[in-house]
Amino acid sequence: MTDTQTGRRNPDALVRRAGKRADTRQDQHFLVDDRVLDRIPEYAVEADVDLSHVLEIGGGPGALTDRLLGHAEEVTVVERDPDFAAHLREEFAAERAADRLTVREGDALDVSLPEFTASISNLPYGASSEIAFRLLPRKRPLVLMFQREFAERMAAEPGTDDYGRLSVTAGHYADVDVVETVPKEAFDPQPRVTSALVRTTPREPAYTVPDDAFFMDFLKGVFTQRRKTMRNAVRNTAHISGLGDPDAVVEAADEDLMSARAGNLAPADFADLATLAYEVGEPEA
Ligand SMILES: C[S@@+](CC[C@H](N)C(=O)[O-])C[C@H]1O[C@@H](n2cnc3c(N)ncnc32)[C@H](O)[C@@H]1O
């Protein structure tokens, strides 16, 4: 199981030992490239991230979990597949690592997440955006594997085609760096797409918004009308943002911002606008 030269568990052997075929409908594409696996936690170490309690979403057979236990004091893994959750508990039970590892069987979109100091994960790509929107407001450093296009949208700058709700949300909470592109060959079974690792560093202080949930809904609304002026987008998407009086927002907001399109505004502009909208636009309670 353990490579005697590197002291690392062999990911292929872990997959075999899990005694289960990967189900790609559940986004089960496992990392089998030792060099990539070794580098992932290093991206956190080189940024001086506090690794006292690392959250891993989607542990699978445990090759990344093994690396995380090599760096973190405590690791919590959330895994939806009951067989892999049981496998992870068993795999590390015999080791001293067992008392540093908590396995939570469940869906990362609805299990309660512990207080963590960082999240390092090779995510299920089908749930990337929901998981990112769940993790970013926790304002903790993240090292996450995504589909490459998703990573590029997350890091996109205003005025580019890739810039959207995801870029604004990510840029609102954190500085975002795409630190590595990972080829399909690093996984088994191979995904159809190229992957990329993103590191986010929380902004301190973040731009403040009065209510995170309202902010997310406001962004969702105006970006569904990204080709319209903000004036029209704010008015037309009140059913999404929950604004009772969108006209009051348009009246009170800066003319230039209302004449711009969502794709050209910076994260700080959205924070200001959402704050104003929350104050004067009668959002749903
Ligand atoms: C891309 S694999 C990564 C596995 C392992 N960490 C690795 O790097 O090889 C994603 C894992 O997430 C699990 N998963 C899929 N959807 C999930 C969800 N909604 N919540 C929690 N785990 C999920 C899958 O069962 C799978 O084990």
Q: Is 66 in the pocket of ligand 1 (CB under 6 A)?
A: no
Q: How far apart are CA 180 and CA 185, in angstroms?
A: 14
Q: Write out the two tokens for 242.
A: 């929950």
Q: What is the ipTM of this complex?
A: 0.99
Give the closest residue to 260 by CA, choosing from 272, 248, 243.
272
CA of 83 to the centre of ligand 1 (A): 12
> Binding-site residues for S-adenosyl-L-methionine, please?
29, 31, 58, 79, 107, 122
Write the residue with the smallest CA distance to atom 17 of ligand 1: 80
> Could you tell me the sign of the dihedral formed by the alpha carbons of 66, 68, 74, 78, in that order?
negative
Ligand 1 atom with the smallest distance to the CA of 32 is 9
* Ligand 1 pocket mutation pick from 35, 38, 57, 129 by most atoms within 8 angstroms of CB: 57
Q: How far apart are CA 261 and CA 232, in angstroms?
A: 10
SS3 31: strand
**DSSP code of residue 33:** -
Instruction: Give the pLDDT confidence score for residue 160 in this predicted structure.
Output: 95
Instruction: Give the pLDDT confidence score for residue 8 in this predicted structure.
Output: 62
Residue with tokens 């936690």: 41
Q: Write out the two tokens for 20.
A: 């289960």
Torsion of CA 34, 40, 42, 47, to 10 degrees: 170
CB atoms near residue 252 (< 10 Å): 14
Q: How far apart are CA 87 and CA 60, in angstroms?
A: 9
pLDDT digits (tens, 9 = 90+) for 31-65: 999 999 999 999 999 999 999 999 999 999 999 99
Q: How far apart are CA 43 and CA 36, in angstroms?
A: 11
Ligand 1 atom with the smallest distance to the CA of 145 is 1
* Ligand 1 pocket mutation pick from 10, 27, 65, 111 by most atoms within 8 angstroms of CB: 27
**DSSP code of residue 149:** H
Structural Rg of the chain based on CA atoms: 21
β partners of residue 263: none
β partners of residue 174: 202
Question: CB–CB of 228/236 below 8 Å?
Answer: yes
Low-confidence ranges of the chain (pLDDT < 70): 1-9, 95-96, 205-206
Q: How much is the pTM?
A: 0.90
pLDDT digits (tens, 9 = 90+) for 120-141: 999 999 999 999 999 998 999 9
